[in-house]
């Protein structure tokens, strides 16, 4: 009997497929076969990834075209001060992991899910930074909590995010 992937495993597999190939063109059944899921799971899977901002897709007749989503902020170069760049390099050397930056595109939702509930450091394009526990995120913003209370940070203003796994 064939083992089907969970919806979360299929999300990761689709993102990795798009990172390798750039896009997917084919039928729903072909995509289901590629991801090892049932055909009826493809539409909900695509809706989840579309709502999180990871992919865009369109249906043309019997064919489905899936591409990684690109946001305007991912087209802008990251803006870090030299001090921030040094601090990030030090944190990476201490075992921290970069989970998002303006050049990562579609992988950020997967990485942000792994950081939920953990302390993260967010570096902004204007040179400031904020530390706090990641409480949630969506396509456009992050919700953090620190000693000052709840913070809503818009992704378009963020340059880099790091955390200790």
pLDDT at 79: 61
The CA distances from residue 72 to 56, 69, 143, in Å, are 14, 10, 21
Residue 103 pLDDT: 47
143 has which bridge partners? 136, 152
Walk me through the domains of the chain, giving residue ranges and CATH numbers: 7-68 (1.10.10.10), 73-163 (2.30.30.100)
Residues in CB range of 25: below 8 A, 6 or more apart: 63, 64, 65
Query: What is residue 76's predicted lDDT score, i.e. its pLDDT?
Result: 42
DSSP 8-state code for residue 70: -
3-state helix, strand, coil in the chain (%, to 5): 40, 30, 30
Q: What are phi and psi of 17, to 5 degrees?
A: -60, -45
Crossing angle for the helix pair 42-51 and 7-21, nearest 10 degrees? Answer: 70
pLDDT score, position 49: 78
DSSP-based three-state secondary structure for 107: helix
Check if the beta carbon of residue 129 is closer than 8 Å to that of residue 160: no
Nearest to 16 by CA among 39, 36, 40: 36
pLDDT at site 101? 56
Query: What angle separates helix 42-51 from helix 28-35, to the nearest 10 degrees?
Result: 80
State the 10-residue block means of pLDDT for the chain, 165 residues long. 71 80 88 88 84 79 82 46 82 78 58 85 88 85 90 87 83
- The structure's pTM equals 0.47
């Amino acid at each position: 009997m064939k083992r089907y992937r969970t919806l979360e495993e299929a999300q990761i597999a689709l993102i990795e497929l798009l990172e390798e190939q750039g896009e997917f063109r084919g039928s729903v059944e072909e995509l289901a076969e590629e991801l090892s899921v049932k055909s009826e799971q493809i539409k909900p899977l695509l809706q989840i990834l579309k709502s999180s901002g990871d992919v865009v897709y369109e249906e043309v007749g019997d064919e489905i075209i899936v591409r990684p989503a690109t946001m305007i902020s991912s087209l802008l170069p990251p803006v870090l001060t030299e001090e921030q760049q040094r601090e990030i390099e030090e944190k990476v050397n201490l075992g921290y992991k970069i989970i998002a930056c303006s050049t990562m595109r579609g992988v950020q939702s997967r990485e942000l899910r792994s950081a939920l509930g953990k302390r993260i450091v967010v570096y902004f394009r204007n040179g400031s930074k904020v530390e706090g526990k990641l409480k949630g995120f969506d396509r456009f913003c992050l919700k953090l909590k620190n000693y000052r209370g709840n913070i809503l940070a818009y992704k378009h203003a963020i340059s880099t995010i790091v955390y200790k796994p």
